Amino acid sequence: KDETRIGRAANRNDIVLDDGQVSREHALLKRIGRRVMIVDLGSANGTFFGGQRVKERILNNEDIFAISKYTFTFKDQTGTVAVKYEEQKIGNTVLLRKPDQVVSGLPQIDKNSISVADFTSKTLLDDIEALRKKAETLSRLYELNEMLGSVFGVEEIFKKVSELMFRLTPADRFLVLLKDSATGQLTPVAAEYRRRSTSSNQEISVSKTVLDRVMSERVSLLSFDTQADSRLASAKSIIMQNIHSVMCAPLLAKDDLLGVIYVDCQQVMQMFSEDDLDFLNAIAGGTSIAVDNAMSHKRLVREELARATYSRFMPKHVVDEILANPNALSLGGSNAVVTMLFSDVRGFTSMSESLPPETVVQILNEYFADMGPIVFDHHGLLDKYMGDGLMALFGVPYPSDDAAVNAVAAAVAMQRRMEVVNRDLKARGLSEIAIGIGINTGMVTVGYIGSEQRTDYTAIGDAVNLAARLEKEAQAGQIIISQATLNAIGNQFPVRPCGCGEVKVKGKREPVQIYEILWEETMPRDSSEIQSSPYIPRPTKS
């Protein structure tokens, strides 16, 4: 890669540093020929090499440079083994093979020249014929493995495997049963027949005796004459369907049993041989890998889609918990004590009227790009964006005793981050902005709410409405909390009564006691290391 960008903006950089001391586009690693240069992109706080601020510098192997609190060590990969190409004649004796030529050609023998009475010659002919069959088998296995390497659908995999079994063995029926990961029971997923006239809807009787032995011992099984095999004599399915020969092989993945391939032959004069078992055994090995890959691919795609969906509004640790234990998250509505945070940009409407629409959108995107990670860092769930405002929930989807503390800590971090946001806006010749924040704690209904076409994970209830109204009461640069939130955070933060300490809120009969978080008096702290401090005690009503 010729360029690697470093900065705070996630949508503009290859290496993202979520730090207020890092500019949105801070530095650039640029390849110049076989060398690499670090270039500072006019950042506010600079890029440092050997303790000195640098604008540009060519990097050598093991060089160290620093951006804010982050230290980078440059590893030069150009010093790998060099290859020199020379023109050199190829010798006169050359052997060439195409990838599908698994074995070289076998000698041609005139069968008429061999005497029937010559036992040695007849044995040689039989051996060569056996080798021909094995060569054909190897070629078909190559063909199968080539196909399996590019297929991620189990249906297509089993279709190809069945065609190969019918072509090279006397199998009349081909069946695949996969193990259900939840119940451990075998479930049929594919059934193919040599004679197309056979109805695909008919019931297939399978020997449980055969399946049990293959699954328990995890070995491939062949019975040449099932009617006479004492170990299978009690299997009614074999007797009733006049099955004379049966093979079964396990599909294994590491230490797990994925399922089995089961084939049988109903023709008296055509029974499976030992070579057929070897062939099925080889096919089962390649098929196991392909099925395991297909299942893993399907699971990874499903998880990636779920991760992409959840990550839009949930922090990484919550997404990881949900994917690790999906049943722990109850879909639908449930009541829970949650802390709600609402924030809104003050004066943004009037400012946006004087700016081009694309500039307005860019400012909002950059503002939300700074605020979203703060919510996640404090174990919050980003419920939604609303114009120039946002709603976040703390204490969901898993309950937390620190939900209110995390919400207030997030609000403090958001107000502090506004200094960085405004510094960037000012550098671009734009007006500074400020936010007001309202926080409330209470019992609400949370869950997936919506229609069949669209659902959102959100919270509804009177406590949510109160949090939204407190945000409307907050002035630029203020954090307003309710009495319930104050009760939940204890003396973790410095507070004071807001105005007269009570405010009449629309929809409430009695005045609501509200407080202001004195966020400028708090020390910068990590949300996971908040400790009790003897701040201003809670005001009490006289």
Domains along the sequence of the chain with CATH: 3-74 (2.60.200.20), 83-105+122-297 (3.30.450.40), 329-517 (3.30.70.1230)
Task: Say if residue 538's pLDDT is above 50.
Answer: no
Banded model confidence at residue 501, pLDDT cuts 50, 70, 90: low
* Closest C-alpha among 169, 240, 281, 188 to residue 226: 240
Q: Residue 365 burial by CB count (10 A; 0-12/13-18/19+): exposed, middle or buried?
A: exposed
Quick one: pLDDT band at residue 328, thresholds 50, 70, 90?
low
Rg (CA), the chain: 36
Q: What pTM did the predictor assign? A: 0.57
In this prediction, residue 82 has a pLDDT band, given cuts at 50, 70 and 90, of low
pLDDT, greater one: 275 or 99: 275
pLDDT bucket at 481, cuts 50 / 70 / 90: very high
Check pLDDT > 80 for residue 311: no
Taking a C-beta distance cutoff of 8 angstroms, is the pair 47, 67 a contact? yes
**Residue 63 DSSP symbol:** -
Summarised one tens digit per residue, pLDDT across range 383-427 is 999 989 999 999 988 889 999 999 999 999 999 999 888 888 888
Confidence of residue 275 (pLDDT cuts 50, 70, 90): confident
Length of the chain counted residue by residue: 542
CB–CB of 190/175 below 8 Å? yes
H or E segment and range at residue 450: strand 434-450
Asked whether the predicted pLDDT for residue 6 surpasses 80, the reply is yes
**Across residues 119-135, what is the average pLDDT?**
70
Q: Over the stretch 150-178, which tens digit does the pLDDT of each residue have?
A: 666 788 889 888 988 998 889 999 999 99
In what order do the strands lie in the sheet containing 186-193?
186-193, 173-179, 256-265, 245-253, 221-223
pLDDT at residue 493 tops 90: yes
Integer Cα distance of 41 and 23 in angstroms: 9
| Top-confidence residue, 167 or 100 | 167
